[in-house]
Amino acid sequence: MDPFRDLLFSKAFQVVPGSRYNQVSQDLRETRGILFYEVVLREDTPWEHLRDQIYPVLARYLRYKSISPELPKGVVVSLFFHDRFYLLQASEFLLAYREKEGLDPDAFHARVLEWLAKPDEEGENREGPEGGDGFRRDLPTHRK
């Protein structure tokens, strides 16, 4: 197994069989108000995919939710691998990035600023298709 997977999995606070994920995640949402961010790891998913695609999108998603992309609280990353979910505090998921990339807090801060400066890509815009009011102008209006 790739060392980055071992690093990520070692930071999990809970490992959940896939068949129980909905129940466990719902319990955490209801009892602790946790926000989940789900990531699928395939056998052939390289570190570079997480580094270049998953982490930047996560940072922009957190910003959209008014959560610090560097110190997210109340957010859990669910890593689905094979038939299990590895639940990590988002802060631990980001710490794994720092460790893997060898970044100190200042260098990581600079990286997060780079991620946040990039425009939304491929439907990533969390504000709606027209960028703000959430109104879908591409759909017909239907009035009674």
Task: Please state, as a whole number, how many other Cβ atoms lie within 10 Å of the Cβ of residue 91.
Answer: 16
Of the ranges 8-17, 91-100, 114-123, 129-138, which one carries the lowest mean pLDDT score?
129-138
Element (DSSP H or E) covering residue 31? helix 21-32
Q: Are 7 and 48 in contact (CB under 8 A)?
A: no
pLDDT score at 121:
56
Sign of the alpha-carbon dihedral angle for 34, 118, 95, 104: negative
Prediction pTM value: 0.78
Q: Are 74 and 114 in contact (CB under 8 A)?
A: no
pLDDT score at 61:
93
Q: In what order do the strands lie in the sheet with 35-41?
A: 14-17, 84-89, 75-81, 35-41
Residue 100 has pLDDT above 90, yes or no: yes
pLDDT score at 129:
36
Residue with tokens 């939710």: 65
Q: Are 80 and 40 in contact (CB under 8 A)?
A: yes
Cα–Cα dist 108/17, whole Å: 32
pLDDT score at 112:
95
Does residue 101 or residue 143 have the better pLDDT? Answer: 101
Q: Which residues contact 7 (CB under 8 A, 6 or more apart)?
A: 96, 99, 100
pLDDT score at 96:
95
Residue 139 has pLDDT above 60, yes or no: no
Residue range 31-80, pLDDT digits in tens: 988 999 999 999 999 999 999 999 999 999 999 999 999 999 999 999 99
pLDDT-derived band at 4 (thresholds 50, 70, 90) equals very high
